[in-house]
A = this chain, B = another copy of it.
């Protein structure tokens, strides 16, 4: 904890790397992230990061994983806030999802993009990714129990939801829909349409 004056041992370089990488991604996109630039910006030698991450891919994988964890936390939060009403949970989760993407566009792209190839090599990243799917499936099941969503394989119905959320997020992020400002409204009506199809 004696940080002052200690320029040799950084204290929490790993954490700082994750943090600064995330900030660089947010500000300038993934392609702006370089191992050298990162080290320079943190004020550490260019080889220091390699003490904490085997290579650049590993660092990006960790950052992507962090993103999934944040998204998952928000999804769970949305669910918990409306624990008594599954359908409301569902609606909130859909919106929260798109909200997250719109607020963290470059990070969202990293999470789903091709910068991290070879995802098999990062089991914890894959696990974090799976949680999204699991959460959606769970809430669908709950809605089915409350008879707000038609019967059928939950994972299949959940897929429709995820596809919609993912597609809408990306179209918004990439500016393919002129929706500046009223993304929220747009997402709402879109999900209501889907929900109507899921009901019955």
Contacts and interface: CB of A to CB of B under 8 A. Distances in A.
A163 B171 contact: yes
Contacts of A166: 166-167, 170-171
Please tell me the size bucket of the interface on A. Answer: 35 or more
Main secondary structure, interface of A, reads helix
A196 B198 CA distance: 8
Interface in A164-193: 164-171, 174, 176-177, 186, 189-190, 193
Contacts of A171: 159, 162-163, 166
A160 interface: yes
A29 to B, nearest CB: 7
Nearest to A157: B193
Nearest to A119: B175
A72 B15 CA distance: 47
Interface of A: 29, 31, 109, 112-114, 129, 133, 156-157, 159-160, 162-171, 174, 176-177, 186, 189-190, 193-200
